[in-house]
Structure 1
Amino acid sequence: MTSALIYLDPDSDLSLQSQIRQKLVEAIQEGVFPPGRRLPSSRKLADQLDVARNTVVLAYQQLVDEGYLISRERSGLYVNEKVFEQRVASSPGTARNAAEESLWRGKIRTGATAGPEYTCPHNWQQYPYPFIDGQFDQSLYPVREWREASRLALGVRDINEWAGETGDVDDPMLIDEIRTKILPRRGIQARADEILITVGTQQALHLVTELLVDSTVQVGLEEPGYPGMRRLLERRGAPLLYQPVDREGIVVDQRLDVCQLVYVTPSHQAPTTVTMSMDRRRALLEKAQRHNMLVIEDDFDSESNYLGNPHPALKSIDTQGRVVYMSCLSKVLSPGLRLGFMVASRELVDAARRLRRLTVRHPPLNNQRTAAYFLSLGHYDTFLMHLHDTFRTRWIELRRALNYYLLHHVVMSPAQGGSSFWVRGPDDLDVKFLVKEAASRGVLIEPIDHYYATSKVPDNCFRMGITSIPHDRIRAGVLELRDLFYDLTRNKIENFSSACGRHVVEPDLQDMIADTTMISEIAYGDPCTIQLFADGSMIGRAGYENEDCDAGTWWIERNKWCRQWSRWTWGEAFEFDVVMDGEVIKLFDEEGRLIERAILRSGTQAQDAPA
């Protein structure tokens, strides 16, 4: 019987001894082994579980030391009856019923407002291509370094500092590490009394909205924007102004003049990942000064800049103290850590601390001290560099795959980084159907309706994240998505058999391609030029400032135009059927799918993309 109750998992992180102890405690607590019950001998249980007898002896001895078992001389080990002395027996018939449910529905006076929500499947890790943002990639977690920080936080001196009653004071060591290590990365200088530790950024948002917002305060929000902030403001009854977002971030115009508060996510806008330009940042701060406005800066994703240098935080260029800055460690380390912080004037931080005390005096101080050691030992910076390199590789791979395989199906928002892509499909695309069909093929993508407050939700947009999918699965996942797009648009997108224009073959193909320039636009809206030289070499330049360049070779083989880049398109050789339609050159792959369309101009001088 005992062996049936105890299953030893060979893949568990717990030792065999700990697993045996854990299962025995569960059996005692649940009454499977009632008070006074004699347990099998160590030899018998060891034989049943196929483990060394000493493993069972040590587990038994630990339970004796902890009072779960008592030893009777020459008789054996028994469940200690005192374990159950302080328990109250549960009464029968305590199951929930309809009357109880009705009772509580009538008693609840307030709650979060309802709205569209998205929750990824709980078994998302079983999908081969999880393009979802914000989930925890266990393979990246710095287990060894976090254990070291935890061990130090559990030292006697440290326990004496954080284990007692400290009121509502945060760990001064963590405050100092944030002040000297994290904030300078964003150009921010702050005193210790201007920093408050929170249970993630969401608590910081909750505290600020409770303190600064009521039904008389008009608040400006990004549209689309972060639904968690919108829900908090709706609870406060605030009149909300939804301001559009363009390629430079939130639009700053006269519509914001009526606002007393504006909430923005400038580093990588949630959810489009657009970075707010410096001109737009200055314009927002100037408007805040002119109209006596406050700004909440949610800098949740400041460390994932992959093209160019990151812009300084709004808080760092705020000369009047109008910006309330908040960020978190959870985004970098893991969502389950739930440690964030806010930086603001001492008056606001003091008020937020008093309000925080009404619900939670402070985030757990043992976690704060562990995070402080993680920072002080340099593990945070090292892990951040590793995470940045890993996510940058994934981000570029997804960007490259979308641009090559879905160039004529999707457009990506212009982004310098972030942990996801905002993707717009054809105008007649039904994203809800796409999400469902993609999942059936093992591809998880995120719908976007929950980011909108108005009824003008585009039906053809979705998000693809990089935090949860390994680099080596990204290309295959986009290929699956491409096949789905082709199935959905089979009769709508031009293919080789139905292409307008003239199919060009040898010898005309060689003469037509040599010493020309192909001018096109890539999936994220930037121009691209490819100079094709007569000697078979080629040079490609992408971006408004030619920031992405590559070289390669081209040749003609079996009436097909072939090319191979050094870096672009994975450095692999591809061959295309070529169709000329006026000055437009169209390239089709081996299955007749349109891969690229460009203007073909004679000469190999760098040229601007056509208007």
Structure 2
Amino acid sequence: MTIPPDAFFLDHAAGLPLQVQLRRQIIAAVTAGHFRAGEKLPSTRALARHLGVARVTVAQAFAELVSTDYLTSRDRSGHYISDSIERRIEAEPLAASTPRFDWDDKLEGRFARAARRDREREWHRYAFPFVYGQADPALVDHAAWRDCAMRALGRREFDSLTGDLYDADDPELIDHIARQILPRRGISAGRDEILLTMGAQNALWLVTQVLLRPGASCAIEDPSYPGQREILLASRARILPVPVDRHGLPPDAIPPGVAAVFTTASHQCPTNSTMPLSRRKTLLARAQAQGFAVVEDDYEFEMSFAGAPSPALKAIDRAGAVIYIGSFSKSVFPGVRLGYLVADPRFIAEARALRGMMLRHPPGHMQRTLAHFLSLGHYDAQANRMRRAFARRREVMLAAIAQEGLRLASPEATGGSSFWLATPEGVDSAALAGLLKKREVLIEPGAPFFAVPGQGRGFFRLAYSSISSERIPEGMRRIADTLRELTG
């Protein structure tokens, strides 16, 4: 039987290469059992004419499918669905009287309850996305990353990528982190003090699992990073929020009996305030006196716009109490999902064992690609390009904030890729966000950042990592106009 050309279609406006669409369509039809072993496909000429594409597009798609054994090619006969395709197993129909398994009885739901629901997945569809943590593709060096990925897939290195590293990390990437990244924060660390993670979120989870027993107390900043709180809530730790001031976390306000203190000293999340050196020293002295560990999330340390950044807490920690978390999500791109922990070798050994139980290690190909990205200088070039672009966007946004009469909640903040703003008296930032969404503007309401969500009603965050300088003034005008409507 010959499969008719009418069984195929392509979406020329989908943004996906036509050859890829055709391959996926054939694979999906084979997997679903619609195309069966031995059935003949239309000729490349007939199918190309039906789809309105070049014949070479169809020929290349067929060639790829032959190489992956979905199709076979027979001389002077054409292409056929491969006989080696496994027979599709048909599921037995479910009897109407079959009782459903009671999952509610097996699941607590504590992870789902702790998960965030305040983020817009389709943010890129909005004209003015002032959302934090997303990348601007225009600032990412695609050609450089592609070259590094191809190097990692080269014959000389491919053997090392196909094996299971068990609980080990790519030695080249660890070496570059130790020699290139950490010294910029004043940190000196050996190989046994560094562990790769699947980003900062995974690092926070590992730290929580290793450090905090169920019921143990920990202090966190208030407001703070919502993703950190959802991990702590799911771990059943006792969370003690400590209100921050214009200099970040006040060490004197840390309650007694805590096992750990979580802080974003360099760029407090979300206010962007910076903890001064004197306060950092006080925090470390208190950690030594009270016996708690300090978990330092040093996100976005590259983005400082008022001179050199302060040294990391880990850099001035002489007792070894600090667990340092770094990530490449902001400086490379979020999808890279690679970060690292730096801590005492004993802590790293325990965290490595836990990571090994859960996921062995981050993907070897991604590790080696990033190692090349660092060693060939692409990381520095991209970081510099992002810093220049963000400095310009920051300047434009500050001017727009002043022009539109908006109010900064942390006017002294000098780093990061966002601003923390206060709404006028009586205006709920969640209501503001809802109205702005209808006007193609995305902002982040303040409630998710606070231990008591109601305390965040008067605040919101505006980020500029994913919006161009040209779009910022109009987006800010829409925010100001909407605020004026809400305040009459």
Shorter-chain TM-score: what band? Answer: over 0.9
- Written as runs of structure 1 = structure 2, the 5 A alignment for 1:37-186 is 37-72=39-74, 75-85=77-87, 87-93=88-94, 100=100, 103-109=102-108, 111-112=110-111, 114-115=113-114, 117-186=116-185
Mapped pair 1:484 → 2:487: no
- The residue aligned with 1:475 is 473
Give how far 1:57 is off: 3.5
Give how far 1:347 is off: 0.6
The code of the aligned residue for 1:326 comes to I
Write the distance in 2 (CA, Å) between the matches of 1:369 and 1:227: 31
Write the distance in 1 (CA, Å) between the matches of 2:106 and 2:309: 49
- The residue aligned with 1:275 is 274
Mapped pair 1:449 → 2:447: yes
Give how far 1:427 is off: 2.0
Q: Per the alignment, do residues 57 and 99 of structure 1 end up closer, same or farther by CA in structure 2, a change over 3 Å counting?
A: same
The code of the aligned residue for 1:225 comes to S
Instruction: Work out whether residues 268 and 301 of structure 1, in 8 Å CA contact, stay in contact via their aligned partners in 2.
Output: yes
- The residue aligned with 1:500 is none
- The residue aligned with 1:428 is 426
- The residue aligned with 1:333 is 332
Write the distance in 1 (CA, Å) between the matches of 2:167 and 2:7: 48
Give how far 1:247 is off: 0.7
Tell me the TM-score normalized by structure 1. Answer: 0.75
SS at match of 2:426: coil
Instruction: Work out whether residues 410 and 426 of structure 1, in 8 Å CA contact, stay in contact via their aligned partners in 2.
Output: no
SS at match of 2:12: coil
The code of the aligned residue for 1:318 comes to D
- The residue aligned with 1:531 is none
Write the distance in 2 (CA, Å) between the matches of 1:435 and 1:391: 24
Write the distance in 1 (CA, Å) between the matches of 2:240 and 2:486: 37
Q: Per the alignment, do residues 73 and 231 of structure 1 end up closer, same or farther by CA in structure 2, a change over 3 Å counting?
A: closer
Give how far 1:357 is off: 1.0
- The residue aligned with 1:284 is 283
Give how far 1:123 is off: 2.6
Q: Per the alignment, do residues 435 and 455 of structure 1 end up closer, same or farther by CA in structure 2, a change over 3 Å counting?
A: closer
The code of the aligned residue for 2:160 comes to E
Tell me the TM-score normalized by structure 2. Answer: 0.93
Query: CA-to-partner distance for each residue in 1:467-511, whole Å, 9 max, x for gaps?
Result: 111110111111111212222223xxxxxxxxxxxxxxxxxxxxx
Q: Per the alignment, do residues 115 and 406 of structure 1 end up closer, same or farther by CA in structure 2, a change over 3 Å counting?
A: farther
The code of the aligned residue for 2:366 comes to N
Write the distance in 2 (CA, Å) between the matches of 1:94 and 1:42: 45
Give how far 1:89 is off: 2.7
The code of the aligned residue for 2:5 comes to T
Q: Per the alignment, do residues 226 and 61 of structure 1 end up closer, same or farther by CA in structure 2, a change over 3 Å counting?
A: closer
SS at match of 1:375: helix
The code of the aligned residue for 1:436 comes to G
Flag structure 1 segments of 5+ consecutive residues without an equivalent. Answer: 491-611
Mean alpha-carbon deviation: is it higher for 335-344 or for 430-439? Answer: 430-439
Q: Per the alignment, do residues 258 and 413 of structure 1 end up closer, same or farther by CA in structure 2, a change over 3 Å counting?
A: farther
Give how far 1:239 is off: 2.7
SS at match of 1:246: coil
- The residue aligned with 1:536 is none
- The residue aligned with 2:223 is 224
Instruction: Work out whether residues 135 and 330 of structure 2, in 8 Å CA contact, stay in contact via their aligned partners in 1.
Output: no
Q: Per the alignment, do residues 427 and 48 of structure 1 end up closer, same or farther by CA in structure 2, a change over 3 Å counting?
A: same
The code of the aligned residue for 2:8 comes to L
Give how far 1:27 is off: 2.8
- The residue aligned with 2:12 is 9
Query: CA-to-partner distance for each residue in 1:291-345, whole Å, 9 max, x for gaps?
Result: 2221000111211111232111000011111101011112222222110100001
Q: Per the alignment, do residues 244 and 18 of structure 1 end up closer, same or farther by CA in structure 2, a change over 3 Å counting?
A: closer
Q: Per the alignment, do residues 4 and 391 of structure 1 end up closer, same or farther by CA in structure 2, a change over 3 Å counting?
A: farther
Mean alpha-carbon deviation: is it higher for 412-421 or for 465-474? Answer: 412-421
Structure possessing the higher radius of gyration over alpha carbons: 1
SS at match of 1:371: helix
Write the distance in 1 (CA, Å) between the matches of 2:420 and 2:6: 53
Write the distance in 1 (CA, Å) between the matches of 2:57 and 2:260: 63
- The residue aligned with 1:187 is 186
1:25 to 3, 9, 27: 27
Instruction: Work out whether residues 8 and 20 of structure 1, in 8 Å CA contact, stay in contact via their aligned partners in 2.
Output: no
Name the % identity.
39
Instruction: Work out whether residues 304 and 417 of structure 1, in 8 Å CA contact, stay in contact via their aligned partners in 2.
Output: yes
- The residue aligned with 1:305 is 304
SS at match of 2:470: helix
The code of the aligned residue for 1:344 comes to A
Flag structure 2 segments of 5+ consecutive residues without an equivalent. Answer: none
Q: Per the alignment, do residues 480 and 257 of structure 1 end up closer, same or farther by CA in structure 2, a change over 3 Å counting?
A: same
Write the distance in 2 (CA, Å) between the matches of 1:11 and 1:206: 37
Instruction: Work out whether residues 129 and 442 of structure 1, in 8 Å CA contact, stay in contact via their aligned partners in 2.
Output: yes
- The residue aligned with 1:345 is 344
Q: How many residues align?
A: 485
Instruction: Work out whether residues 329 and 335 of structure 2, in 8 Å CA contact, stay in contact via their aligned partners in 1.
Output: yes
- The residue aligned with 1:419 is 417
Mean alpha-carbon deviation: is it higher for 34-43 or for 360-369? Answer: 34-43
Relative contact order higher in (CA < 8 Å, ≥ 6 apart): 2
Question: Relative to total residues, which structure has the larger helix share, 1 or 2?
Answer: 2
Give how far 1:19 is off: 4.1
Mean alpha-carbon deviation: is it higher for 369-378 or for 61-70? Answer: 61-70
Query: CA-to-partner distance for each residue in 1:60-98, whole Å, 9 max, x for gaps?
Result: 34433443233455544322232134x433333399x99
Give how far 1:266 is off: 0.9
Instruction: Work out whether residues 149 and 369 of structure 2, in 8 Å CA contact, stay in contact via their aligned partners in 1.
Output: yes
Write the distance in 1 (CA, Å) between the matches of 2:201 and 2:359: 14
Instruction: Work out whether residues 34 and 79 of structure 1, in 8 Å CA contact, stay in contact via their aligned partners in 2.
Output: yes
SS at match of 2:244: strand
- Written as runs of structure 1 = structure 2, the 5 A alignment for 1:365-384 is 365-384=364-383
Write the distance in 2 (CA, Å) between the matches of 1:426 and 1:343: 42
Query: CA-to-partner distance for each residue in 1:181-217, whole Å, 9 max, x for gaps?
Result: 1101111000011000011112211111111112463
